[in-house]
Amino acid sequence: MSELKSELKNDLYLRALLRQPTERTPIWMMRQAGRYLPEYREVRKQAGDFMALCKNAELACEVTLQPLRRFPLDAAILFSDILTIPDAMGLGLYFEAGEGPKFERPVRDIASIEKLGVPDPEQELRYVMDAVRTIRRELNGQVPLIGFSGSPWTLATYMVEGGSTKNFSEVKKLMFSEPKAMHLLLDKLAQSVTSYLNAQIAAGAQAVMIFDTWGGVLSPRDYREFSLNYMQKIVNGLTRHADGRQVPVTLFTKNGGAWLGDMAATGCDALGVDWTTDLGTARAAVNDKVALQGNMDPSVLYAPPARIEAEVATILESYGHGHGHVFNLGHGIHPEVNPDHAAAFIEAVHKLSPAFHK
Ligand code: CP3
Instruction: For a ligand 1 pocket test, name from 46, 81, 193, 217 the mutation site with the most ligand atoms within 8 angstroms of its C-beta.
Output: 81
| End-to-end alpha carbon distance in the chain | 38
* Per-residue pLDDT reduced to its tens digit, 300-350: 999 999 999 999 999 999 999 999 999 999 999 999 999 999 999 999 999
- Answer whether 213 contacts ligand 1 (Cβ < 6 A): yes
Among 298, 271, 275, 303, residue whose Cα is nearest residue 286: 271
- Answer whether 81 contacts ligand 1 (Cβ < 6 A): yes
pLDDT of amino acid 96: 83
Could you write out the three-class secondary structure of 191-229? HHHHHHHHHHHHHCCCEEEEEECCHHHCCHHHHHHHHHH
Tell me how crowded residue 116 is: count the other CB atoms within 10 A of its CB: 18
Which residue has a Cα nearest atom 30 of ligand 1? 100
- Answer whether 33 contacts ligand 1 (Cβ < 6 A): yes
Q: What distance lies between CA 98 and its chain's CA centroid?
A: 22
Q: Give the residue numbers marked as catalytic.
A: 31, 35, 44, 81, 158
According to DSSP, residue 195 is labeled H
Which atom of ligand 1 lies nearest, measured to the CA of 335?
35
Q: Which residues of the chain have pLDDT under 70?
A: 1-4
Q: Give 72's Cβ-side CA count (13 Å radius).
A: 14
pLDDT of amino acid 4: 61
Residue 69's domain comprises 2-357
Which atom of ligand 1 lies nearest, measured to the CA of 34?
43
Residue 266 belongs to domain with CATH number: 3.20.20.210
Compute the distance between CA of residue 316 and CA of residue 348 in angstroms, rounded to an integer: 10
181: phi then psi, degrees, rounded to nearest 5: -65, -45
CA angle 245, 325, 273 (to 5 degrees): 110
Q: What residue type is assigned to position 34 of the chain? A: G
- Answer whether 305 contacts ligand 1 (Cβ < 6 A): no
pLDDT of amino acid 2: 46
pLDDT of amino acid 1: 43
Rg (C-alpha) for the chain, rounded Å, is: 19
The CA 200 to ligand 1 mean position distance, Å, reads 18
Q: 325 and 279 in contact (C-beta within 8 Å)?
A: yes
Among 238, 225, 292, residue whose Cα is nearest residue 261: 292
Which atom of ligand 1 lies nearest, measured to the CA of 154?
24
pTM flag (> 0.95): yes
pLDDT of amino acid 98: 79
Provide the domain count of the chain: 1
Q: What distance lies between CA 12 and its chain's CA centroid?
A: 18
248: phi then psi, degrees, rounded to nearest 5: -70, 145
